[in-house]
Amino acid sequence: MTARVFCAIDTPDLDQSIQLVRNLSAVPLHFKLGLEFFTAQGLAGVEKIRAVAGDRAEIFLDLKLHDIPNTVVGAVSSALCGKPQFLTIHASGGAAMMKAAVAAAEKKTKILAVTVLTNLDDNDLSAIGQATPAADQVLRLARLAQDSGVDGIVCSPHEIKILRQNLGRNFLLVVPGIRPSGSAQGDQKRTMTPKEALDLGASYLVIGRPITAAADPLAAAKTILDMK
């Protein structure tokens, strides 16, 4: 398995993040920086991680933007200063917002849409006025995202098969909720191993704690990357 895994750096601490990225620089990992890191460290922090990660590593800025198109355009333009290869928005922001984000990205970053957050079940969706079952809503939003010109979506391992069938082979499916066999599930409930997810058609995997919380993160990453 080469160059298809984002390691999730989920900490607000810059020194800890730099140490982790430096420690992992011996393996072909990419890095995902989310709201926890970005809210604390901003674009300056992203630049610092990029410098340590080197040119080979791609940066995925997981900001899950969701606002009126004009505001999202401004946020995407600002995010481009951090030179991320991937940036997330929420598909539920609607077609106009997604199209505006894609245009603002100027093909300098790939826009990924988040469909339904995996912590929400049918009851949660019903409570916010979405009577559609979660699985149907995921497919509806994924189709809308594809029609709006985004490069791909973030989805759970259990949605890969149906999304591949409906969205074709070239749409990017970026998949968290990955657990190598034998590793702790943590708060992830419906997981798959890296091999299972890639065999089903995942484009990229997002793996956090199985690497970052391991006693030896580099050894854990090597084991994961050697699996396929």
What positions carry a catalytic annotation? 64
Does the footprint of ligand C5P cover residue 7 (CB under 6 A)?
no
Interactions with ligand C5P, residue window 163-192 (CB under 6 A): 176-177, 186, 188
Alpha helix ranges (H) inside 55-113: 69-80, 95-105
CB of 209: closest distance to ligand C5P in angstroms? 3
Task: Give CA–CA dist 48/225, Å, rounded.
Answer: 25
Which part of the chain contacts ligand C5P (CB under 6 A), choosing from 50-58, 66-74, 127-135, 206-214?
A: 206-214
> With contacts defined by CB under 6 A, how many residues of the chain interact with ligand C5P?
16
CB of 103: closest distance to ligand C5P in angstroms? 25
Assess contact for 61 and 37: CB atoms under 8 A.
no
Does the footprint of ligand C5P cover residue 157 (CB under 6 A)?
no
Residue whose tokens read 């580099």? 218
Interactions with ligand C5P, residue window 12-51 (CB under 6 A): 34
Assess contact for 177 and 204: CB atoms under 8 A.
no
Assess contact for 211 and 174: CB atoms under 8 A.
no
Residue whose tokens read 């607000």? 12
Binding site for ligand C5P (CB under 6 A): 8, 10, 34, 117-118, 154, 156, 176-177, 186, 188, 206-210
